[in-house]
Each structure stands twice: as structure tokens, then as C-alpha cells.
């Protein structure tokens, strides 16, 4: 699975409210859905002057000057650095065949798929900082999608969202309730998410993870997922 497929899968499963083509840029309108859906990406080679075009488009949307830098965007990365943009939130892309994760066998009712999300799922997301704007991103995604609710110690213990683009599933918004952590909840979620993805036509499974989130990176690697790519953001602090 290539990084390019995962960039496309990210856009499809965690979609912006609107995509605008401005010059040689894709400008995303995020509507409070986070930086993934509020960033600009280059559709080909760009110059220093082109960056001003993207900045003006982001100003018109009332959004920060934020660019996503993907593999192959090294020239853009250098241009932005020269303009005073700093690196923000490097991200790792993980992927594997879906069968790698369907080998996980959670106990019955340890986790299950449900859509639309139950109220408790939205409550847990909100408590963990995934508020209404990000939940709206999930609601507007097209194609097969579901939420996952995990239970541990007779309580709701964790949640996630997974959706499919083509034959690739991507999991987002995995959150475990703090007092239920380090008890296998996240592993159970991954297993149920993979089984749901397989049942709905996916042959590959993927996640994206902040590079400095060491526990999550260790989890995905321990489950046999491979780090197949990366991206980061460049942002200019507003004066």
C-alpha cells in the first residue's frame, strides 16, 4: 500500500466540508474539523509567489495559513521553511492486509460496530477532545463507515471510527477512557474494526498517528502494521 493511496483514503474517510481548487492548490474548508481538513496541498510544482495565492484563499475562509507536506513535496517544504513556516505534527502512516488484524479474537461483546454512533460514543469522543466539528466530519463521509464501541469491566471503555475508500479501510478517532487503559481495549477495537472492514469489502487496513504518540505507534507496530509513509504540516504563527 503506497502513501499516495493513504493520502486519498484520508481525504475520503475524513473529508473536508469543501474542497476548492485555487491555482495549483487544493484548499480545504474545515468547519472546525481539525487541521487535516483545514490544510492546503499542492497539486503540482509551485513557486514562492503561489504560496501567497494559497494564503489569500485561506484568509478568505478565516483559516490559519496551514500546509500539508506529503512525500514528494520536498521543494514546497523548503519554500515554506524559507518563508518562516515551522513544522507541526509529523504523522506516520501505518497499513497492513486486513487479515493481519482479523486474527485478533476479542471476547464476545468486548467491542462491536454500530452506525450511527450511540450517544455514549459521542460522549466519550467529546470528553477526549473530539468535539462536534470532528464528529461532523465522520457524519459527512460517504461510503461504508461505522463506529466501534468497546466495553471493559462492564463499562463503555473505548471508541473509534472506521471508513472505507476503494478497498482500503482507515481507522480514526481511537480513544480509550483513561481508567480503562492498558487492559487490551485498543486491541479489541482494532480486531472488531478489521472484521467489520473485511465484511464490507476492504482488503487493506490503515491508520495515521502522530509521530510523538509513542504508545499508539507501539500498538500499531505490535499488531503487525507497517509504517509505509508520513506527512507533516507547516504553519506560520500569526502576528
Cα–Cα dist 162/144, whole Å: 9
pLDDT surpasses 80 at 179: yes
Among 43, 70, 91, the domain boundary falls at: 91
Q: Read off the pLDDT of residues 79-101 as tens digits, 9 standing for 90 and up.
A: 999 999 999 999 999 999 999 99
Collapse the DSSP code of 24 into the 3-class scheme (helix H, G, I; strand E, B; otherwise coil) and give the result.
coil
Which spans in 30-157 are helix H?
A: 48-60, 74-82, 98-102, 119-127, 132-140
Q: Flag whether 235 is in a domain.
A: no
Is there a single domain that holds both residue 104 and residue 210?
A: yes
Domain that holds residue 173: 95-230
Give the containing element (helix H, strand E) for 221: helix 214-222
Give the containing element (helix H, strand E) for 217: helix 214-222
Q: Flag whether 238 is in a domain.
A: no
Mean pLDDT for the chain? Answer: 96
Which residues on neighbouring strands pair with residue 158, listed in sequence order?
Answer: 150, 176
Collapse the DSSP code of 199 into the 3-class scheme (helix H, G, I; strand E, B; otherwise coil) and give the result.
helix
* Number of domains making up the chain: 2
Is there a single domain that holds both residue 79 and residue 127?
A: no
Question: Whole-model pTM?
Answer: 0.94
Amino acid at each position: 500500500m503506497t502513501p499516495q493511496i493513504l493520502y486519498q483514503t484520508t481525504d475520503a474517510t475524513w473529508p473536508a466540508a469543501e474542497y476548492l481548487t485555487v491555482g495549483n492548490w487544493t484548499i480545504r474548508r474545515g468547519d472546525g474539523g481539525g487541521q487535516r481538513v483545514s490544510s492546503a496541498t499542492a497539486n503540482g510544482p509551485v513557486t514562492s509567489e503561489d504560496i501567497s495565492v494559497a494564503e489569500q484563499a485561506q484568509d478568505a475562509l478565516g483559516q490559519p495559513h496551514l500546509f500539508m507536506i506529503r512525500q514528494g513535496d520536498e521543494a514546497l517544504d523548503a519554500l515554506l521553511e524559507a518563508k518562516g513556516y515551522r513544522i507541526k505534527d509529523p504523522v506516520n502512516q501505518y497499513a497492513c492486509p486486513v487479515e493481519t488484524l482479523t486474527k485478533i479474537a476479542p471476547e464476545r461483546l468486548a467491542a462491536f460496530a454500530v452506525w450511527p454512533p450511540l450517544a455514549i460514543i459521542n460522549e466519550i469522543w467529546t470528553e477526549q477532545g473530539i468535539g462536534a466539528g470532528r464528529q461532523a466530519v465522520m457524519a459527512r463521509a460517504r461510503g461504508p463507515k461505522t463506529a466501534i464501541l468497546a466495553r471493559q469491566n462492564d463499562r463503555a471503555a473505548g471508541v473509534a471510527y472506521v471508513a472505507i475508500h476503494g478497498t482500503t479501510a482507515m481507522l480514526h478517532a481511537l480513544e480509550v477512557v483513561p481508567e480503562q487503559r492498558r487492559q487490551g481495549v485498543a486491541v479489541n477495537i482494532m480486531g472488531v474494526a478489521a472484521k467489520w472492514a473485511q465484511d464490507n469489502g476492504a482488503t487493506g487496513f490503515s491508520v495515521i498517528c502522530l509521530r510523538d504518540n509513542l504508545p499508539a505507534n507501539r500498538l500499531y507496530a505490535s499488531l503487525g502494521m507497517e509504517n509505509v509513509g508520513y506527512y507533516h504540516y507547516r504553519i506560520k504563527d500569526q502576528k
